[in-house]
Structure formats: C-alpha cells, structure tokens
Amino acid sequence: MTAPPSGSGERLLHMIQLIASGPDTFTLGEFAERAQLPLSSVHRLLKTLERAGFVERGSGLSYRRGRELHRIASQIVSRFDLARSALPLLQDLVDRFHETALLCVYSPVSRRAVVAEVVITPHPLRFNVEKGQEIALPWGSMGPAVLAFLPKSEIEMVLRTEHAGPLTGMPRPTRDELEVEFEHVRQHGFASYREPKFDAAGVAAPVFNGENEILGCLGVITLSSRFSLTMEQEVAAALRAAAEDLSQQAAVSPSPGAMLSRN
Amino acid sequence: MTAPPSGSGERLLHMIQLIASGPDTFTLGEFAERAQLPLSSVHRLLKTLERAGFVERGSGLSYRRGRELHRIASQIVSRFDLARSALPLLQDLVDRFHETALLCVYSPVSRRAVVAEVVITPHPLRFNVEKGQEIALPWGSMGPAVLAFLPKSEIEMVLRTEHAGPLTGMPRPTRDELEVEFEHVRQHGFASYREPKFDAAGVAAPVFNGENEILGCLGVITLSSRFSLTMEQEVAAALRAAAEDLSQQAAVSPSPGAMLSRN
DNA sequence: ACACCATTTCCGGAATATGGAATTCTTTCT
DNA sequence: AGAAAGAATTCCATATTCCGGAAATGGTGT
C-alpha cells in the first residue's frame, strides 16, 4: 500500500488517484515527490496520461487535470450518484431533528468510510464534519453499521489495520464487544453510539446495493447531552427508512439512455 | 484512435474510458470484444484494475465499476463542477425565453463538444438534446462559438475530422464562410445560426477558464420559425452575460479544502 | 549574459507485458 | 444428475516495453 507500486499499470492508476486528490495544478518534480517515483518515470507516464487527455499542460511548466478526465468522471458520477440521491433524504433528517446528517461510502482501498455528503446541523455547537473525510470503522455508530455487513475476511483486515481511535487514541473495542454491536445492527437495522466523556453520540443505518452488498451508511451525529433516548428511537426509525429508500434507488441500475431522467 | 493501443499504460487508460461509458455490468469476453484486445491481456489488465479497486466483481462472472473509481470520479467532479455551476444560469435562461438552454464542453479527445448540462424548453415541439451527446463543431452556433477560440492547429484537425453534417449530411461550410463566422464570434462574443430548411436556430456564447483558454459554450437552441430577430438579440445578450459569469466562476480555481463551500 | 534549477531525452540492462494454447471453472441442456 | 458447451483463468516462451541514472536541453531569475 505505502510501497511504491511496480509496473506501468499500477503506477498509472496510483498517479490517477494522486491527480484526483492533489492540487489543481502541479509540476513534474513536485508530483514525482508525492508519487514517490523517479522523475524520468513520472515524466514518461505523465506523457502517456497527456496523450490520452487525462492531464493537460498549462502555461509553462504546470500540469493540471485534463478534460478527458473530467468527462469520464462526470459520466461515472451521473450514472451512479448516490450522494445526489441521498441529499434530499439528509435534508429531511436535518429538518426533522436539527442534527447533522451524513452519508458515508465504504472505500475498500483505504478500508474506511468516506463522507460522501453531509448536511450540517443549524446548532452552533456541533462536531465538524467535511465531505471527503475518512472515518475509521471500529468506533462510533457509522463504522459498525458498515462493518457488520462486510465479509468476515474483510472485517479481519479492517481490524488489523486500525489500532488507535480517532478521538483521543481510545483503544479499539474487543472482538466480543464488536460482535455484540454487529448482532444488534443485523437485528435492528441500525447502530447507535454514546460516549459521554466526549459528549458524542450517533446513530447509523446501512445502505446496500442491488446484490445486497454493503455500500455505506446514513447517519446522524450529535452531542450525547442533547440526545434523549426517545429521540434516539425516532432518529433510528427515520434513518432506517431513509437507508432502505436509498438502497432501493441504488438497486435500480440505470440504463445507458436514462441519464436525463435521474436529475 | 481506432488503432488498438499498445503498451499496458495506454491500454489501461483506454479500458477505463470504456468502463466509464459502457454498461453497468459486463463480462470478460464482451469487454475484450469492445476493447478490441486479446482475452488474456484484458483479463490481466482487469486484474490490475481490480487490485486498485477500479473495478469489482459481481456474482459469478460479471464485472462492474469499482468503488474506488466512484470515489475518484466524485472527487474530481466536486472540485470542478462546471455543469453544476451552470445549472442555475441555464434555468434562468429557460425561465426567461422558454427555449432549451445547454452547456457544452469541448472534448479534445473526440474533437467535439459534449453536452454537459441541459434544461429543456417547456414547449412540446422541440429538438431532442441529451446529456452526453456529442456535437460536431463546424455546424450550427454552438460549434463555431467554441471553434473560433481553439488554436489554429487544433481547428485544422477538427476540420480534417469532420465532413458530413449532423442533420442530413450537409457539406461542411468552407473555410472562408467559417472565418467570417469566427470573426463575428470574436467581435461580438456570441455565434448565431439559422437553418430555415430544418426550422433550426441557435445562439451560443463561449466560456473560458482562468487562463483564457476555451472550455466550451452556453447556448440556446430553438425552431427558427418561433425565433424573431429581436428575440435573438435579447438571447444573445443574456447568453453573453451568463457565459462571462460562468467563466468568472471557472477562473477561481478552488483550493483543496474548499470543497464544502462549493455546494 | 550567466548561472541555476526543472524538464526532457537517451540508452543498455532488466523486468514485464503479450497472446496462443492448455486448463479449470460455470452454466446450460438433456 | 451428468455431460457438453462456453467462458474464464492460468501457463509460458518470446519479445516488447519499461526502467531510471545520467546527460542534454530549456526556461527563469539575477
């Protein structure tokens, strides 16, 4: 993973990932540094990407994402835009409960959940959540809601990867504790979490694709001090409903010509 | 272009393009056919893509786009979403003139303009336009609005590529005719077009990036029979204003941390 | 005009890609 | 169930492509 990829194929894919997440313009040397690859190799590979329109050159010595890359990206997104479908659902949740609601998508590469869409609570006191942020799976509510439905082998890999908790390095829950949590998620269709020490609380419900594989989860996060148990029940029910709705939408795989009807 | 790409790098990029535009699920043989490559090579390359999370396997023998690909695509789109920025502008145009308004983006790879966003006229009688549709540049109004600002060498390539017109194979306008049109676009900031034979008419204004390179154009298309000359003037003025607004937005290159503020 | 730094080209050795053929696995038909 | 058909996967000898240090080139600042 951290090891420099070998072979032009793997290297190219690695570079595409960096180009997507990196700055809007960059130079060869700068990029070679980030990619951890020799200059001349990066140069050659960038030339390949350039021929395909994946990157373009700006004035002088700068590179930037190419229009072909934008074209492909928007094509992919418009054909499966879970975030866009989720936005009205998230908005409803926030309108109803006045707490931050978000959609996380499981990323098998990083073995974490990525925040794909978020609607922030109007409350001035709140946890900060940003689109693109990564969430480790063994803690909180969002993580277990996803983790519980991953294949056993994948769960193993996740647990082996994660050790120190995201807030203040809290140790990972034991397998047994997690197993109890998983059982609850599978039974009731949602996970909940309370950590009075940090005044944190959350509820999350899993989202699946058409083949009943886990895609991610919808969640609501708030402060435990303003999150009553009766409210938790209501939020959980609303989340389950929203998550099922979204799973339904994800199941109908759009036909190539149906792009317009999805907007 | 039609030539089968050589080297694993080029082949991978080619495959990514096909995966983006192809069906949601596909099989090895089917895909090898579309890619025009030997089975065993495609198999090996798909395995590379799979290791990186760019494709995943469904039940049995099917492949599909992977979550890493979706993650990257949405990252790219959310950082430069010209279409999303243009949508309110297009909506305004339709509200005001009741005619179909669209955003085209120049795609250097196909040397054509691609419809990136469209708002359809409420009129029941209208030309059919769909997102993703390609538009040849030497005809109509949208094409010249873009073509006029491409580098000379690129214009040559485009003209060499295109021969038969999109509607009924009308021959390409001569260089001289085009040059006159270009001059008009450069002078007045918009192109207009009328073809009474097909009852077609359109107006388009160019959109640029921060370095004053052409990105594409905003346009309004309609039937020539319901498009008066005075209306044409008003539409042209509104389009110019909208296109300048959009160019302004495209010029401020978003910083990596500013993703949220763009929504 | 000069020096400096980043980019691009070069090239021989090494690793990797290539694709036809053999093998294994799935699906379908009887 | 069993067998045939079709698809996917693996194998392997060959040769093509990749690799990356070093040299050449090009651009920028003083």
pLDDT reported for residue A256: 29
Residues B147, B151, B155, B157, Cα dihedral to 10°: -140
Closest Cα of chain B to A22: distance in Å?
A: 8
**Which residue does chain B place closest to A257, by CA atoms?**
B130
Which residues does chain A have within 8 Å of residue B65's beta carbon, measured at their own beta carbons? 76, 80
pTM for the predicted model, two decimal places: 0.78
**DSSP secondary-structure letter at B130?**
-
The strand pairing partners of A171, in sequence order, are: A164
CA distance A228 to A219: 16
Task: Quickly give B43 CA vs C20 C1' distance in Å.
Answer: 14
> Across the interface, do B71 and A12 touch by the CB < 8 Å criterion?
no
The minimal CB distance from A76 to the residues B13, B69, B259 is found for B69
Among the listed residues B126, B131, B195, the one whose alpha carbon sits nearest the alpha carbon of residue B166: B195
**Which residue does chain A place closest to B18, by CA atoms?**
A72
> Across the interface, do B253 and A116 touch by the CB < 8 Å criterion?
no
- Asked if pLDDT for residue A6 goes beyond 70, the answer is no
- Asked if pLDDT for residue A164 goes beyond 50, the answer is yes
The gap from C-alpha B224 to its chain's centroid, in whole angstroms, comes to 24
Identify residue B11 by its one-letter amino acid code: R
pLDDT tens digits, residue range B180-208? 999 999 999 999 999 998 899 999 999 99
Q: CB atoms < 10 A from the CB of B58, how many?
A: 16
Which of A249-263, B164-178, B223-237 shows the highest mean pLDDT? Answer: B223-237
Which run of H or of E encompasses B187?
A: helix B175-188
Task: Quickly give B41 CA vs C16 C1' distance in Å.
Answer: 13
Whether CB of B59 is under 7 Å from strand D: the answer is: no
CA distance A246 to A259: 18
Structure tokens at B149: 């600002």
Q: Which residues contact A131 (CB under 8 A, 6 or more apart)?
A: A115, A116, A117, A118, B78, B259, B260, B263
Mean pLDDT to the nearest integer, A8-35: 91
pLDDT reported for residue A102: 97
Task: Quickly give A59 CA vs C1 C1' distance in Å.
Answer: 26
> Across the interface, do B67 and A9 touch by the CB < 8 Å criterion?
no
Nucleotides on chain D within 7 angstroms of protein Cβ: 7-11, 16-22, 27-28
Q: At what angle do helices B8-21 and B39-51 cross, to 10 degrees?
A: 80
Closest Cα of chain A to B80: distance in Å?
A: 8
Residue of B77, B103, B105, B111 best to disrupt the A interface, most CBs of A under 10 A: B77
Which of A65-79, A249-263, B150-164, B180-194 shows the highest mean pLDDT? Answer: B180-194
**DSSP secondary-structure letter at A235?**
H
Which of A58-62, A231-235, B17-21 has the least mean pLDDT? A58-62
The fraction of chain B above a pLDDT of 90, given in percent, is 66
C-beta within 7 A of nucleic chain D, residues 27-66 of A: 37-41, 44-45, 48, 60-61
**Mean pLDDT over the full length of chain A:** 88
Among the listed residues B1, B163, B53, the one whose alpha carbon sits nearest the alpha carbon of residue A1: B53
> Across the interface, do A48 and B114 touch by the CB < 8 Å criterion?
no
Compute CA distances B25 → A11, A79, B30, B54, B57, whole Å: 26, 12, 10, 13, 9
pLDDT tens digits, residue range A82-116? 888 898 899 999 999 999 999 999 988 889 999 99
> Across the interface, do A80 and B70 touch by the CB < 8 Å criterion?
yes
> Across the interface, do A76 and B73 touch by the CB < 8 Å criterion?
yes
Conformation bin of residue B98: beta by default, left when phi > 0, alpha when psi is -120 to 50: left
CA distance B193 to A84: 36
Task: Quickly give A8 CA vs C13 C1' distance in Å.
Answer: 18
The minimal CB distance from A72 to the residues B16, B25, B211 is found for B16
What are the helix (H) ranges across A134-260?
142-147, 152-161, 175-188, 229-251
Task: Quickly give B60 CA vs D1 C1' distance in Å.
Answer: 22
CA distance B90 to B103: 8
Among the listed residues A132, A97, A124, A84, the one whose alpha carbon sits nearest the alpha carbon of residue A202: A97
- Asked if pLDDT for residue A13 goes beyond 70, the answer is yes
Mean pLDDT to the nearest integer, A56-63: 82
pLDDT tens digits, residue range B81-107? 788 889 889 999 999 999 999 999 998
Q: How confident is the model at residue B253 (pLDDT cuts 50, 70, 90)?
A: very low
Structure tokens at A94: 């926030």
Whether CB of B38 is under 7 Å from strand C: the answer is: yes
Backbone torsions φ then ψ of A233, nearest 5 degrees: -60, -45
Per the CB < 8 A criterion, the answer to whether A75 and B132 are in contact is yes
> Across the interface, do A74 and B72 touch by the CB < 8 Å criterion?
no
